[in-house]
Structure 1
């Protein structure tokens, strides 16, 4: 059963479960990639996200400052659309709903703010959700494959 679908006309990405983490990300890498001050990000267990045409995916490092890091941006080789973040360690797959072809309104609202840093020059979020300088303290990375 599909809970969430995204992607583009050439590659469809499907999540079959709820996110294991769902936050507004304030990290510099997300800012650089999305050009947004903060970005709604949903982590899924790796096996809960499937792709119908993996042969049509072009992979690029998520963090240009750490090109050997574990996350890669998956792009459609035909149209260049951002599809998902893929974890080389096979722990998670990541959706950025408003950038990766999902219906952002269909996703659960982000439950907290992650990677907020007072040196970034804007006010601390005051929408009632917790604000952390990293992921929420109780988050545990799933085991990889």
Structure 2
């Protein structure tokens, strides 16, 4: 089984196996949090992502416009590095390889484009990967862990 390692010098994050969803995200929340035009995002089943020092993990709402939403951005209390997104409903944990300390080149490429919207003022991606207005139509949220 493949293990992808991320995190920082203080908190090590391990993602076991392949993501259950792996996309290039165009949503405004990812843009606001990462400062990137698009963001490579990988969803894992909740139990497939672990941290070695949970006592060093700080949590804050991922979406500032929906602070009660299910996703929390986890950062290191020592250095402030982003570690993962954690789902309060315990369905998924999320890795953003180029932001969360993973070897981005070793991580599997995104399978599709998610949350693309014509009104955002930039061209629709034309790299051959499918483009959707949300998550891929066949994506099913896993049951809580």
Q: TM-score range by the shorter chain?
A: over 0.9
TM-score, normalised by the number of residues in structure 2: 0.98
Runs (4 or more) in structure 1 with deviation over 3 Å come to none
Q: What stretches of structure 2 of length at least 5 have no aligned partner? A: none
Residue 140 of structure 1 aligns with which residue? Answer: 140
How far apart in 2 are the matches of 1:20 and 1:72?
19
Q: Deviations over 1:101-124 (max 9, x none)?
A: 000111111000000000001000
How far apart in 1 are the matches of 2:15 and 2:100?
13
How far apart in 2 are the matches of 1:126 and 1:19?
23
- Cα drift, residue 2 of structure 1: 5.4
Q: Match of 1:13, SS? A: strand
User: How is 1:103-122 mapped onto 2 (pairs within 5 angstroms)?
Assistant: 103-122=103-122
TM-score, normalised by the number of residues in structure 1: 0.98
TM-align CA RMSD: 0.8
Residue 45 of structure 1 aligns with which residue? Answer: 45
Residue 94 of structure 1 aligns with which residue? Answer: 94
Residue 18 of structure 1 aligns with which residue? Answer: 18
How far apart in 2 are the matches of 1:50 and 1:2?
14
Q: Match of 1:109, SS? A: coil
How far apart in 2 are the matches of 1:116 and 1:16?
28
Kindly tell me the number of residue pairs found equivalent between the two proteins. 145
How far apart in 1 are the matches of 2:81 and 2:35?
15
